[in-house]
Chains A and B, each alone.
Chain A
Amino acid sequence: MTDKSVETTLAVEFGMSRRQSLFIRAWWLVKSKPLGALGGFILIFAILVAIFAPVISPYDPEISDRTSRLTPPDTKHWFGTDHIARDVMSRVIYGSRVSLLVGFIAVVTSSVLGTALGVASAYFGKTLDLLLQRVVDSMQALPGLVLALTLMAAMGPSLTAVIIAITAVRVPGTVRTVRSVALSVKASQYAEAARAVGADDWRVMFRHITPNCMAPVIVVGSAVLGGAIVTEASLSFLGLGVPPNIPTWGNMLGQAQERYIAAGPWTSVFPGLALTFTAFGINLLGDALRDILDPRLRGSR
């Protein structure tokens, strides 16, 4: 988020200097947007858990302790054990890795692709724009999960396929948002001035239009992150996502659902809580980012 236009927005809106330290800015966020800051802390917490999973998880997530199948939470296994006696807490901790990995890759790929296509669509217009917008319309005519399932049906279950499917679901929305912003930037005087002094197409697109589309891309990105994590969980829950031997929240929920939910509610409750808690934090952060970065929406809540 070191992008100029975002910083400028922050600076102009809240009288902040670009040179102010990260710490001061973080403190400002806590004071003016407490819920957004809470969301940020939740997300950072989840990221730290994912990074340090091998250090903090009490057991190996794959190894089962045959003597204790489906034991309720106790001092030995805080979140209990699952149907083949693996430690649920360790699996929840490791599950955060896949969820966040899929989420962040989907954010990066859909932002890059969406921005490139959106800016190109707005800048060149004509046939390219018409064609791209019809493709976007058609892709959005399929409910997100149904499009993802169709792609999974074609590619077969794997981590790569999940990432491709989620990216495909999220790109059209990004293209549409970026295109509408890029259209207004393209018509602005400074873009015209840049062209007047002889800047070529690429320069105008990359140096002038794209940076001004970053604020909405960040806002959309936070929605993509939350949505991607839930979609990955839904696909895995249905047995059509990440292969079942990899611990993910969706896989755990799916396996718990099949047989063991009544016998061992903790096998479903804890991964579900982890998923909800993460999505909750991302939603809070996204709401705050939208309030700060998207002037058109400001004050509408």
Chain B
Amino acid sequence: MRAYVVRRLLLFFPTLIGVSLIVFIILRIVPGDPAFIMLAGYEGEGSFTQDELDRVRRRLGLDAPIYVQYVKWIASAVQLDFGDSFFTNRPIWEEVRPRLPLTFQFAFMAIFLAIAFAVPMGIISATRQDTWIDYFLRIFAIIGLAMPTFWVGALLLLCLSLWFNWFPPLGYTAPWVDLKTNFIQLIFPAVALAYSTNAVAARMTRSQMLEVLREDYIRTAMAKGLLERVVVLRHALKNAALPVLTLFGVQFGFLLGGSVVIESVFSLPGIGRLLIFAINTRDFPMVQFLVMFIAFIFLTVNLLVDLLYGWLDPRIRYE
């Protein structure tokens, strides 16, 4: 197990450095002169003085050679100094921190909802293969794959307002302040976000279960006269659930991307909306930090999922 952990960690850090390089290249080199865009906009419509331009360049460190800029950025990031927001002039981390509980709580709610429904759906579909309920669940899943997350969210809001003449209260209340309001605020965006992840996971659970159910040891268990319920839940599910687990590592990235849009639909003050705001105000230091932060979370979740997978399935770590 230790060798496996070391091997997996050895992949983690080069990838993190790779991401930081890519983000740096996109935000510092692609725009040509970021300082100019920050002041004048993409069409060059804003007006400013040469003096202002020089000040922004100095503040962003754009006057130094590009590799010096990169090393400086990494060096201060390692010391947890992420610089100031260009828009509010406050430290970036202070802008981001209060928004974290919302995004995390809401991502975990979505993951939980997706699993809680996907696994039973997949099991029912597989054990009742080619019956009406199997078809119904598969169609439900394939529609979930086709509907864009943000439109699901928009429709939820629309239905609530048309049928119940009611909107969930906007904004975010922390769970430790008012649990009920918190739940009402987050459940609808979480449902919207969970739907497509649920669809992917349900399909995967179904196909894995179908494969496992054909194995010899399942036939043996059935032949012993065990109840179908026991065979499915105790014998088959254990092996079928493992690949579904790795799926959630990948899907977590999709959730992070989806939350950016969903937070805008439901006006939730999370890091996704902060990213959109930062892009709209051309706050490059903030965009740079948020994108790196999201990549860091995504890589960490994937690392944890892989380690968990190796721990649960000995075949993986000895590969």
Partner of A156, one of B15, B37, B264: B37
Within 8 A of B (CB), among A71-124: none
Per-residue CB proximity of A262-301 to B under 8 Å, as 1/0? 1001001100100111011001100000000000000011
Q: Report if A207 contacts B (CB, 8 A).
A: no
Within 8 A of B (CB), among A215-263: 226, 230, 233-234, 237-240, 253, 256-257, 261-262
Per-residue CB proximity of B195-214 to A under 8 Å, as 1/0? 00000000100010011000
Within 8 A of A (CB), among B281-313: 282, 284, 287, 291, 294-295, 298-299
Known interface pairs A146-B291, A237-B261; A139-B151 also in contact (CB < 8 Å): no
Q: Report if A153 contacts B (CB, 8 A).
A: yes
How near does chain A come to B278, taking the closest CB pair, in angstroms?
Answer: 8
Interface pair A265/B19, CB less than 8 Å apart: no
Docked pose: A301 CA to B122 CA in angstroms: 12
Interface pair B298/A141, CB less than 8 Å apart: yes
Residue of A nearest to B167 (CB): A262
Interface pair B158/A154, CB less than 8 Å apart: no
Q: Report if A183 contacts B (CB, 8 A).
A: no
How near does chain A come to B193, taking the closest CB pair, in angstroms?
Answer: 12
Interface pair A238/B18, CB less than 8 Å apart: no
How near does chain B come to A226, taking the closest CB pair, in angstroms?
Answer: 8
At the interface, is chain B mostly helix, strand, loop or mixed? helix
Known interface pairs A156-B37, A238-B264, A265-B162; A276-B294 also in contact (CB < 8 Å): no
Residue of B nearest to A287 (CB): B142
Partner of B154, one of A226, A261, A279: A261
Interface pair B142/A280, CB less than 8 Å apart: yes
Interface pair B261/A138, CB less than 8 Å apart: no
Interface pair A234/B30, CB less than 8 Å apart: no
Residue of B nearest to A35 (CB): B142
Q: Report if A150 contacts B (CB, 8 A).
A: yes
Interface size class of B (residues with CB under 8 A): 35 or more
Query: Residues of A contacting B149 with CB < 8 Å?
Result: 234
Interface pair B26/A276, CB less than 8 Å apart: no
Interface size class of A (residues with CB under 8 A): 35 or more
Interface pair B299/A141, CB less than 8 Å apart: yes
Query: Residues of B contacting A257 with CB < 8 Å?
Result: 150, 154, 265
Docked pose: A2 CA to B88 CA in angstroms: 57
The listed residue with most A CB atoms (<10 A of its CB), out of B11, B154, B275, is B154
Interface pair A143/B31, CB less than 8 Å apart: no
Residue of A nearest to B34 (CB): A154
How near does chain A come to B107, taking the closest CB pair, in angstroms?
Answer: 11
Per-residue CB proximity of A128-142 to B under 8 Å, as 1/0? 000000110111011
How near does chain A come to B130, taking the closest CB pair, in angstroms?
Answer: 12
Query: Residues of B contacting A154 with CB < 8 Å?
Result: 26-27, 30-31
Interface pair A253/B151, CB less than 8 Å apart: yes
Q: Report if B254 contacts A (CB, 8 A).
A: yes
Partner of B145, one of A146, A233, A283: A283
Q: Report if B56 contacts A (CB, 8 A).
A: no
Partner of B148, one of A139, A152, A279: A279
Docked pose: A300 CA to B207 CA in angstroms: 6
How near does chain A come to B128, taking the closest CB pair, in angstroms?
Answer: 15
Docked pose: A196 CA to B249 CA in angstroms: 44
Per-residue CB proximity of B146-172 to A under 8 Å, as 1/0? 111111001101100110000000000
Given contacts A142-B291, A155-B30, A276-B143, 20 further A-B contacts (CB under 8 A): A134-B15, A137-B15, A143-B254, A143-B257, A145-B260, A146-B256, A150-B27, A150-B287, A154-B26, A154-B30, A154-B31, A155-B31, A156-B43, A234-B148, A237-B264, A262-B161, A268-B155, A280-B146, A284-B142, A301-B207
30 example contacts (A-B, Cβ-Cβ < 8 A) are as follows A135-B18, A138-B21, A138-B22, A141-B19, A142-B295, A143-B257, A144-B257, A146-B256, A149-B260, A149-B279, A150-B23, A150-B291, A153-B278, A154-B26, A155-B30, A156-B37, A234-B261, A237-B150, A240-B276, A253-B150, A257-B265, A262-B158, A265-B158, A265-B162, A268-B151, A268-B155, A276-B146, A277-B146, A283-B142, A301-B207
8 nearest interchain CB pairs?
A: A156-B42, A138-B18, A145-B257, A280-B146, A143-B257, A143-B253, A154-B30, A279-B146
Q: B residues engaging A (CB < 8 A)?
A: 11, 14-16, 18-19, 21-23, 26-27, 30-31, 37, 41-43, 142-143, 145-151, 154-155, 157-158, 161-162, 203, 207, 210-211, 253-254, 256-258, 260-261, 264-265, 275-276, 278-280, 282, 284, 287, 291, 294-295, 298-299
